[in-house]
Amino acid sequence: MAIQTPALRETLADAYGAEALYGAVYTSTPGVTAGTEPTGGTPAYARKSLTWSAASTSGGVTTITATAVFDVPASTTVVGVGVHDAATAGNYLDGGTITSQAFASQGTLTVTFTYTQS
């Protein structure tokens, strides 16, 4: 059964954002388990705290977004992203692939995380 009311879609989107507190990037494809996070670099790679937007509903779809800028070490190719409930360790909650981004030298990658509830 599809969710008919914007109120419930927004409640579910807000619950996702309340749990998905940290973003990560991966050098291997995430799935049921997280991908492999990069290590090293100056500044060093680390998960980033996520601040989710207010839920927005349009055309029967509710969306929240959060943007983070990651420091990516040299000689790293990023192929996936995901969300976790802690800055280190914790639980992997969700993830997916992105267009592969190769870094010959230290750089940054801006990721906009999007959750949709229909």
pLDDT of residue 114: 97
Let me know: does 38 contact 25? Beta carbons within 8 Å.
Answer: yes
Range 50-54 average pLDDT: 97
- Fill in the amino acid letter for 51: T
Provide the 10 A C-beta neighbour count for residue 69: 11
Q: What is the pTM of this model?
A: 0.94
Cβ(73)–Cβ(85) below 8 Å? no
pLDDT for residue 53 is more than 90: yes
List the chain domain ranges.
6-117
Q: What is the pLDDT of residue 2?
A: 77
In the predicted structure, residue 1 carries a pLDDT above the cut 80: no
Integer angstrom CA distances of residue 31 from 57, 70, 90: 27, 21, 17
